[in-house]
């Protein structure tokens, strides 16, 4: 992805027309749109390509299965037009490496979840987050997912993966994460959902958050 706004919209709506309208409105004000199961299950996988015509799409399917199933999923998603897929690492290096192999065939990217942004991630995920970050680094993926709700963890993950991989960070806005703090901790992009797509003016909301990010970088 091109680092322009450093902002990714998590578009977790379920109505096709609403999704396309929001995508069009934020075009040029976000670097990518992350879509997941809610939108795709409600509208069909063609929505991936429709949005990708306007803004690069990250398919947040958190792929987590045996290597062959992961391969089938990634192939379908990339054929549909996605620029990147988010996958889990806890299924092991063979599954992760298969996702990377498919991405390389399609000239696309894989992002690996290290630790999620909700409180429940502390129950189990944080215990192995650093191991999963190292696995992601070893697999030479495009980047990892680390929680904006815990900037200190973003900083820790950055120390493991180094500067050559990207960090995308969900949890800014409705979950309580702060865009500026997350960027300062080492994230390359922040992911914002409800604060943008539920706003009366999603475009203006995206512009304001992007400005907050820019100000944090310029300081």
The tens digit of pLDDT for each residue in 77-109 reads 999 999 999 999 999 999 999 999 999 999 999
Question: From start to end of 93-173, where are the E strands?
Answer: 109-113, 143-145, 166-172
What is the spatial distance between Cα 108 and Cα 46, in angstroms, rounded to a whole number?
Answer: 18
pLDDT in tens, 172-217: 988 889 999 999 999 999 999 999 999 999 999 999 999 999 998 8
Please say whether the beta carbons of 137 and 162 come within 8 A: yes
Looking at the predicted structure, is the pLDDT value of residue 2 above 90? no
Looking at the predicted structure, is the pLDDT value of residue 219 above 80? no
Say whether 3 is catalytic.
no
Backbone angles phi, psi at 193, to 5 degrees: -115, -90
| pLDDT tier, 70 (very low <50, low <70, confident <90, very high otherwise) | very high
CATH code that applies to domain 7-218: 3.20.20.70
Which region, left, alpha or beta, applies to residue 209 given φ > 0 means left and ψ of -120 to 50 means alpha? alpha
| SS3 category, 4 | coil
**Nearest partner of 213 among 183, 193, 191, 186, judged by Cα:** 183
pLDDT in tens, 104-157: 999 999 999 999 999 998 999 899 999 999 999 999 999 999 999 999 999 999
| pLDDT tier, 64 (very low <50, low <70, confident <90, very high otherwise) | very high
**Nearest partner of 106 among 130, 133, 82, judged by Cα:** 82
Instruction: For CA atoms 175, 176, 180, 181, give the dihedral sign.
Output: negative
| SS3 category, 98 | helix
Question: Which of 3, 21, 45, 62 is flagged as catalytic?
Answer: 62
pTM of the model: 0.96
- Position 216 scores a pLDDT of 87
pLDDT in tens, 8-35: 999 999 999 999 999 999 999 999 999 9
Terminal-residue alpha carbon distance, the chain: 23
């Amino acid at each position: 992805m091109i680092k322009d706004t450093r902002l990714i919209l998590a578009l977790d709506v379920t109505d096709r027309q609403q999704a396309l309208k929001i995508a069009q409105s934020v075009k040029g004000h976000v670097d990518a749109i992350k879509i997941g199961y809610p939108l795709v299950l409600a509208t069909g996988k063609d929505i991936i390509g429709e949005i990708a015509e306007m803004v690069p799409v990250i398919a947040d399917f958190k792929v987590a299965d045996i290597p062959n199933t992961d391969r089938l999923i990634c192939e379908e998603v990339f054929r549909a037009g996605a620029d990147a897929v988010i996958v889990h690492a806890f299924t092991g290096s063979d599954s992760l490496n298969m996702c990377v192999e498919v991405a390389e065939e399609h000239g696309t990217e894989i992002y690996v979840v290290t630790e999620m942004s909700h409180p429940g991630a502390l129950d189990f995920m944080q215990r192995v987050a650093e191991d999963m970050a190292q696995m992601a680094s070893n697999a030479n993926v495009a980047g990892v997912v680390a929680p904006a709700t815990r900037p200190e963890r973003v900083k820790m993950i950055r120390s493991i993966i180094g500067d050559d991989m990207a960090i995308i960070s969900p949890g800014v806005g409705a979950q309580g994460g702060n865009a500026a703090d997350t960027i300062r901790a080492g994230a390359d992009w922040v992911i914002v959902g409800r604060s943008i797509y539920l706003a009366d003016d999603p475009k203006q909301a995206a512009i304001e958050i992007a400005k907050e990010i820019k100000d944090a970088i310029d300081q």
